[in-house]
């Protein structure tokens, strides 16, 4: 399995003389497309309504849970990034931490999974497309293997299910203080 992963990585990785336009796209995707997630969260929250805000809450909870699961897996079953073992070509600087699972991959996969499970089809497909773009970019730039992304997608499904289960049972109680905090902040800003 790891041999296949390595071969696929070398096939998708940039190579010695990458095309400048493709390199720019990969760097942009790897560094900035992740901002789509907080922008979408803000859109949900500002749009208001219980369904939107509970979806935002489920997504935030899923992102937190996914980050925790990813951290534990990386600590228990450390896999070095390709550049740490001299494999492929690295086009951006990155810390030498665990490769599996990809944090970016987890974030996009969780985002898509929560949206699919809440039947927000258009947004879910957009999250999936952006996630595939980011996954490709991180492999192309030399910081992840393909299985780091596949693993992230697999982990995201039960994490999203757990998050939605928690929000289904306790979401109303969790939402009330957040909305109260929002009202207080808005009143405070309106006074200044």
Sorted by where each begins, the domain ranges of the chain are 37-183
pLDDT for the residue numbered 10: 95
Task: Write down the residue that tokens 């982990």 correspond to.
Answer: 155
CA–CA separation, 75 vs 67, rounded Å? 12
Phi, psi of 81 (to 5 degrees): -70, 155
Mean pLDDT within 78-96: 94
pLDDT for the residue numbered 189: 81
pLDDT for the residue numbered 186: 79
Q: How many CB atoms are located within 10 Å of the residue 16 CB?
A: 5
CA 86 from centre of chain = 26
Q: What is the pLDDT of residues 154-169, one digit of tens each?
A: 999 999 999 999 999 9
Confidence of residue 130 (pLDDT cuts 50, 70, 90): very high
Confidence of residue 181 (pLDDT cuts 50, 70, 90): confident
pLDDT for the residue numbered 192: 67
Question: Which residue in 136, 141, 170 sits closest to 27, CA to CA?
Answer: 141
Mean pLDDT within 62-86: 96
Mean pLDDT within 29-44: 97
Q: Which of 20-24, 147-151, 181-185 has the lowest mean pLDDT?
A: 181-185
Confidence of residue 63 (pLDDT cuts 50, 70, 90): very high
Q: Which of 37-51, 61-75, 168-182 has the lowest mean pLDDT?
A: 168-182
Look at residue 82 and tell me whether its pLDDT is greater than 80: yes
Look at residue 96 and tell me whether its pLDDT is greater than 90: yes
Q: What is the mean pLDDT of the chain?
A: 95
Mean pLDDT within 117-143: 98
Which helix (H) or strand (E) element contains residue 56?
Answer: helix 50-76
């Amino acid at each position: 399995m790891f041999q296949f992963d390595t071969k696929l990585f070398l096939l998708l990785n940039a190579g010695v003389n990458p095309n400048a336009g493709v390199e720019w796209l990969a760097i942009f995707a790897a560094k900035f497309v992740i901002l789509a997630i907080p922008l979408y969260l803000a859109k949900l929250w500002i749009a208001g309504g219980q369904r939107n805000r509970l979806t935002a809450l489920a997504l935030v909870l899923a992102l937190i849970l996914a980050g925790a699961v990813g951290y534990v897996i990386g600590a228990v079953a450390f896999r070095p990034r390709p550049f740490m073992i001299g494999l492929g070509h690295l086009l951006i600087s990155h810390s030498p931490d665990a490769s599996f699972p990809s944090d970016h991959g987890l974030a996009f996969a969780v985002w898509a999974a929560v949206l699919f499970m809440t039947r927000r089809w258009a947004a879910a497909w957009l999250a999936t497309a952006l996630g595939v773009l980011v996954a490709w970019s991180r492999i192309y730039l030399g910081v992840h293997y393909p299985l780091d992304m596949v693993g992230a997608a697999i982990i995201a499904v039960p994490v999203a299910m757990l998050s939605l289960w928690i929000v289904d049972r306790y979401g109303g109680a969790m939402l009330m203080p957040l909305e109260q905090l929002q009202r207080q902040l808005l009143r405070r800003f309106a006074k200044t």
